[in-house]
Structure 1
Amino acid sequence: MKFNTAPVSAITQELGSRLKRARLNKNLTQQEVADKVGVARRTLVAAEQGNARLDTFVGIMQILGVADQLNLFLPEQDISPLQLAKLKGKQRQRASGHLSPDEDMEQW
């Protein structure tokens, strides 16, 4: 599957199918995985159809022992020093609070 050009719905369905195959390869029932993740069976069924919240998806991957694949799925990204400098330049400065009249007089 070409993930860069495929519709989002096709990608999520493919990921759901891969979760299902991983579950079947572990010889686990939907109920067993759902219980271990702490979700309802219907939530697991929805995930296997490509309709899962990210926390559910990751939880299922952990139970199936494939969560290490997340590093391949979305590798950690480094920020270049130049981009970091640009980001720091755009940070908002926090305004200093207003001084009370007594404190204002003490500074004179």
Structure 2
Amino acid sequence: MIKQFMLLLQNIRANIMDDENVEAFYIELGELIHKARNNKNLSQAKVADFIGLSRASIVNIEKGRQRTPLHQLYSFAKVLEVDIKELMPNFDLDLINQLKRKKTKQVQKGNVNDKSSEKLDHLIDSF
């Protein structure tokens, strides 16, 4: 059972940022920027001025159509007065929850003993 989870973890890690996930990442990133901007009651034009981008770029970033470089995320975080972590999508959390549910089902079926369950918890937490 632990070997199966190890293989599953390796597979997830290998495929976590395929083309579809990259697109979803930037869409969610844009939504998080949009939400933070609205929470600060800042216009797209104001944010654009602060960061040194055009208003059209802000629109495209918020829609996930334009990929912002990492260094600009720091500028967004500073202007929007949020921790940069608040702007980062968290796809790992969904995957971790899937693994935890799968482990719980296996424990309920009696397929995993306490020692193996602890090892699986450790593997999942390391992800």
Which TM class, normalised by the smaller chain length? 0.5 to 0.7
* Aligned equivalent of 2:29, options 4, 12, 15: 15
**SS of the residue aligned with 1:7?**
helix
How far does the alpha carbon of each residue in 1:11-66 deviate from its partner, in whole angstroms, 9 at most, with x for none? 11001101000000100100011111111111211221222222223211210011
How many residues of Structure 1 are paired with residues of Structure 2 in the alignment? 69
Structure (1/2) with the larger helix percentage: 2
The CA RMSD over aligned residues, in Å, is 2.3
Residues 21-36 of structure 1 aligned to structure 2 (within 5 Å):
21-36=35-50
Q: Equivalents in 1 of 2:77, 2:60: separation in Å?
A: 15
Partner of residue 67, structure 1: 83
Give identity over the alignment, percent: 33
Q: Equivalents in 2 of 1:60, 1:18: separation in Å?
A: 11
Long gaps (5+) in structure 2: 1-15, 90-127
How far does the alpha carbon of each residue in 1:43-93 deviate from its partner, in whole angstroms, 9 at most, with x for none? 2112212222222232112100113537x88xxxxxxxxxxxxxxxxxxxx
Structure 1 or 2, whichever has the larger Rg, is: 1
What TM-score do the two structures reach when normalised by structure 2? Answer: 0.47
The runs of at least 4 aligned residues of structure 1 exceeding 6 Å deviation read none
Higher RCO, Cα 8 Å, sep 6+: 2
